[in-house]
Copies of this chain bind each other. A is one copy, B any other.
Amino acid sequence: MRDLKDQCWVLTEEDIDALEIGSGILGTGGGGNPYIGKLRARQALREGYELKVLPLNAIADEAMVVPLGGIGAPLVSFERLKEGREGLRCLRSLEERLGFKADAVACEEIGGQNSMEPLITGAFAGLPVVDGDGMGRAFPEMQMTTYSIYGHRSTPSVMCDPHGNAVAFENAITEKWHETMARACVIAQGGASVLASAPMSGAYVKRYSIPHTYTQAIGLGRAVMDARKTHSDPIAAICEREGGQHIFSGKINDLKRHFKGGFNVGVASIEGLDSYRGSIGQITIQNEYLMFERDGQMVTCVPDLVVVLDLDTGLPITTEILRYGQRIAVLALPCHELLRTPQALDVVGPACFGFPDVIYKPLAEAA
């Protein structure tokens, strides 16, 4: 391997602040609370570790890249802190098990705390994180990455909890079976662990990552920070950058939310405000915001992004901190084209979340 060090982007505390906001927006409410993630990443930075992002085109084809992320329910990871080195234990166990040395870490999910998890593990391991991810957003299940969708077998994998328990999924006959077994096990482990999957080649990562999503998330966060500093509209700034639409404003007047099968699930009802006065919005939740309906009509659904922001500050609101009475803006952002193929829609379309009758109309094509 050639030395990748000089091609890496070394993140600053300000980058992490921006990533908190950007990954919160792209997380569509899930992926783990980004504020908790930021505190952990900042702690690593202050202890002298380097958080490094490697441009996609700087990876050698033959590089060994380990995808990594937190698994569990955002609600749990919000309340129970990680021990900190779960990801590093996963990585080392996988390397030992398979007899290789990782060249870089890949992000499974840019949304929420899962944008920070690979950076933190990479920092402890002295490895960079590839500038891209497997979702371009957050999704509730592991098989929903472009890595899995386009043919990567994610087992053998290793999952570690904060206590020191470690489980290796040696073989799963399908990516969905991997998810099913890991989900059962993470619930037994208390609901918030880290999982590292089988390594991918650099060539595969370059071809099937959602590209440049660290750059995207940090840029998005900076745009919101800049808009707030200059008293301009952060919501407009987000829509402009991402080709998105502001589809609703309102106040949450009903919120059903519970913990089921290891997921946060629920429905939020929103009473329209401003130009939406008289309308009713509804958001369906499964760890993330899955779908938004206005007056009973489907407006935006997975895999496009339903983003919930604080109406005043423009800051993202994750599903576990959503509450009655909040005044929110709802945005629709188009997902990446790798999530819009028939192959992808078989795994991340509305039917995969229990809504077979919902027809996905890509926002990118409507625009």
Residues in chain A within 8 A of chain B (CB atoms): 93, 97, 158, 163-173, 177, 180-181, 183-185, 187-189
Contact = CB atoms under 8 A, between A and B. Distances in A.
Contacts of A177: 163, 165
Contacts of A184: 184-185, 187-188
Residue among A170, A173, A183 with the highest chain B CB neighbour number at 10 A: A170
10 contacts: A163-B177, A164-B171, A164-B173, A165-B171, A165-B181, A167-B169, A168-B168, A168-B170, A180-B188, A181-B185
Contacts of A170: 93, 158, 166-168
Contacts of A166: 169-171
A177 B165 CA distance: 8
B173 A183 contact: no
A245 to B, nearest CB: 39
A93 B188 CA distance: 24
Contacts of A180: 188
A102 to B, nearest CB: 18
A18 to B, nearest CB: 37
Copies of this protein, total: 2
B165 A173 contact: yes
A180 B163 CA distance: 13
Contacts of A93: 170
Given A164-B171, A165-B181, 18 more contacts: A93-B170, A158-B170, A163-B173, A163-B177, A164-B173, A165-B171, A165-B172, A165-B173, A165-B177, A167-B181, A167-B185, A168-B168, A181-B188, A181-B189, A183-B188, A184-B185, A185-B185, A185-B188
Nearest to A177: B165
A28 B316 CA distance: 57
A168 B165 contact: no
Contacts of A158: 170
Nearest to A168: B168
Contacts of A187: 184
Nearest to A179: B188
Contacts of A185: 167, 181, 184-185, 188
Most buried by B among A163, A184, A189: A184
Nearest to A167: B169
A12 B164 CA distance: 46
A164 B93 CA distance: 22
A181 B97 CA distance: 20
Which A-B residue pairs are the 4 nearest by beta carbons?
Answer: A184-B188, A168-B168, A166-B170, A184-B184
Contacts of A97: 97
A189 B170 CA distance: 14
